[in-house]
Amino acid sequence: MISAITNGVKVSVVTQYLPEHSNPFQAHFVFSYRIRIENESDYTVQLLRRHWYIHDTTGVVREVEGEGVVGVQPVLEPGQVYEYTSACNLNSSIGKMAGTYLMERIFDGKHFHVVVPDFALITPYRLN
């Protein structure tokens, strides 16, 4: 598990290769990732937007930006946790993702970015 803390919001990531949804012979590799967001601050916050950079070893870099995560804009009070799972496809067996979440502190409406740490997307057979 990889984690980073920004302004009292901790983001942790775990990844998994999904061979049942992949086809290596057609350069199609699918990975899931589970994100855990923990509000360790003293303020209630809301996740407004996500911004991802997705890299693979073919040199392709995709940028994905949008509202919320998996269709929601979760509100986290101090001490609360929100988890979700999503997926990503690559054209190679190795890649990485990184990004930020745009958050709002409910108390005063202040916006700030929370770092999602770089996380690797690697098929298990590439680790040998």
- With a threshold of 0.95, does the pTM exceed it? no
- Report DSSP state, residue 8: T
- Binning pLDDT at 50, 70 and 90, where does residue 128 land? low
Q: pLDDT-based confidence at 1, cuts 50/70/90? A: confident
For the chain, list the domains and their CATH numbers.
2-127 (2.60.40.1470)
The per-residue pLDDT for range 34-84, each reduced to its tens digit, is 999 999 999 999 999 999 999 999 888 999 999 999 999 999 999 999 999
Per-residue model confidence (pLDDT) at position 126: 67
Q: 3-state SS of 29-78?
A: EEEEEEEEEEECCCCCEEEEEEEEEEEECCCCEEEEEEECECCECCEECC
Contact 14, 120 (CB under 8 A): no
Q: Closest Cα to residue 48, out of 120, 113, 127?
A: 113
